[in-house]
Amino acid sequence: MTDPVRIALGQMCSGLDPEENINTIAQFAAEARAAGAGYLQVPEMSVGFAGDRAQLEAIAEPEVNNRQISRLSDVARENGIVLHVGSLAVSKGNGRFANRSLLFGRSGRLLGQYDKVHLFDADVPDQTKVYRESATYDAGDALVIVDLASEGIAATLGLSICFDVRFGEHYLALAQKGAKLMAVPAAFTQPTGEAHWEVLLRARAIETGSFVLAAAQAGDHANGRSTHGHSMIVDPWGRILAEKADREPGLLLADLDLDAVTDARRRLPVLDMRQAHSLSINHKVAG
């Protein structure tokens, strides 16, 4: 048996001031560590939540000598906690940006990074109406898993960001490479969150037999957008272990029994039974 692991999710209402947002992350890190958590996740665009290109250009720093990343590394080191920054915008220097997730170890060392693969191009019945993330961001081209054993957590973490959660194959691939924890930091809109957020998170947990850890943006933001909140931790059987069932900032804590992953995958060994890749399709036309 493995010892339970206490993890924390920080639900935020990020604004346009990176310094203020990083201070909030630092406060969450201190609170999480004081509560005995070894891992803290904060949402997508936690460092600065831009609503248009002008705001994005004002917030995002370049990949090299990035002061925001240096400060976040310091937050992890100063609090002795694994800090998962759900994402921040990084300027690529060509008028394009990356929506990048960063994972820092307890020493402040960068353990891994992931660029969002599935960009949010959608029409939503809210005040923004049309979202075209691909107009300013470049999609990532690789899946990422990080072994957390060196950080005192006996599990491998699979990385994703927000809209990725709608693509089940992303998580099946992570699980087949050994991920037992799935990270889904997000900034779901209010309409899509009300309709789909919980269902998608529970589905990803069930189909992979994994814990799903999903820190969310919440509330009405300075960029004019409204986000759903409801940060959530789901166990490998699809049960909600903990939820911040509102649209207010705050910290969510839960203890994970990592043996539950082994148990769920033994009871329902779907990862070993998948056959879709080997099946042919017989296409017949009626008439």
Q: Which helix (H) or strand (E) holds 219?
A: strand 218-220
Q: Is 162 a catalytic residue?
A: yes
Is 260 in contact with 254 (CB distance < 8 Å)?
no
Q: Is 44 a catalytic residue?
A: yes
Catalytic residue of the set 44, 61, 151, 243? 44
Torsion, CA 141, CA 120, CA 131, CA 18, rounded to 10: -80
Q: Residue 3 burial by CB count (10 A; 0-12/13-18/19+): exposed, middle or buried?
A: exposed
Catalytic residue of the set 61, 162, 198, 244? 162
Q: Which helix (H) or strand (E) holds 204?
A: helix 198-208
Catalytic residue of the set 116, 180, 198, 244? 116
Beta strands across the sheet bearing 211-214: 145-147, 156-158, 181-183, 211-214, 232-234, 240-243
Catalytic residue ranges: 44, 116, 162
